[in-house]
Copies of this chain bind each other. A is one copy, B any other.
Amino acid sequence: MRFRQNGQGGEKMISSIAELISDRIGTMPAGERRAAQTLIANYPLIGLKTVAEFSQSAGVSSPTILRFVARLGFQNYPEFQSALQDELAAQLQSPASRTLNPSSPGGTVSPMLEATLDNMRETFRHLSDKQLADIAARLADRRGKTFLIGGRFTDPLARYMAAHLAIVQPNVFHLAGQESVWRDRLIDMGKHDVLVIFDIRRYQDSLVRFAETAHQRGVQIVLFTDQWLSPIARFARHVIAGRTAVPSAWDSSAALFVVAETLIGAVTRQLEAEGAKRIRELESLR
């Protein structure tokens, strides 16, 4: 319809301007690429504003914007805007079509995304509000210390959670480095402390041993694992089992990541009073 380009196409089906852009963004000079990126990032509303506003948002000059739309095959800026409006109109008419990128079939994107979204829904289905509230309360309890550790691939999750928790409360420690190093930290742990462990298969022996001794010392363990449950579940006070299956060579930790973010949010809310003061203090330190 509109996007018949120079070559007698037929090779590729371009059905939206967004696709057209990502198709050509590789062949664009730097300035026009910035225009393309800002348009995609705030698609499509920036394209409906004036050239001046668009150019300012993108940090380039007006002519660059015009060259950009010219490269997309439009005769002039108004024609480009009309195309965007038509697209919007079609989208608003049939709300069902707004679900996903129309590149679904056969693409590499959507099976992965679909599986991940399913994983999250499943994970949260088996997770009660009460359970999350309990864990959040435990993590917000300031009488004890909080330690976090993860396995080979999940340690970044422990880091991520630690980075946030350490801001809203004191005594949060991420256990990193060599095994011998964090094993020695066991001596600091007691029955008022919490140990958050991330462990998905293949479960690491070192982590299991670590959890066991911690448990013997009375430490409360919160375990993030997969649906097959790490052996650490045996010692854990709270177990969060996330779905990990995706069409990829690797397991996905995304569901656990979202649970972690949810907990971070809950703990923060719980510590709001002291947390706010603490955050202000930290700001002033910077």
Which of chain A's residues 196-214 have a Cβ closer than 8 Å to chain B?
Answer: none
Instruction: Pick out which of these stretches binds chain B: A63-71, A139-147, A181-189, A259-267.
Output: A259-267
A26 touches B134 (CB 8 A): yes
Cross-chain contact of A109 among B132, B234, B248 (Cβ < 8 A): B132
Does A112 sit within 8 A of B, measured CB to CB?
yes
Closest chain B CB from A109 CB (angstroms)? 5
A229 touches B159 (CB 8 A): no
A128 touches B250 (CB 8 A): no
Assuming the contacts A108-B266, A109-B129, A261-B254, asked whether A159 and B163 have C-beta atoms less than 8 A apart, the reply is: no
Which of chain A's residues 237-278 have a Cβ closer than 8 Å to chain B?
Answer: 239, 241, 246-250, 252-254, 257-258, 261-262, 264-266, 268-269, 275
Copies of this chain assembled into the complex: 2
Which of chain A's residues 115-160 have a Cβ closer than 8 Å to chain B?
Answer: 116-117, 120-121, 124-134, 152-153, 155-157, 159-160
Instruction: Tell me, in angstroms, the Cα distance from A34 to B233 when the chains sit together.
Output: 7
A132 touches B110 (CB 8 A): yes
Cross-chain contact of A40 among B124, B241, B247 (Cβ < 8 A): B241
A18-53 interface bits toward B, Cβ cutoff 8 Å, 1 = contact, 0 = none: 110011011000000010011011110100110000
Chain A contact residues, CB within 8 Å of chain B:
18-19, 22-23, 25-26, 34, 37-38, 40-43, 45, 48-49, 59, 85, 88-89, 92, 95-96, 98-103, 107-110, 112-113, 116-117, 120-121, 124-134, 152-153, 155-157, 159-160, 163-164, 227-229, 233-234, 236, 239, 241, 246-250, 252-254, 257-258, 261-262, 264-266, 268-269, 275
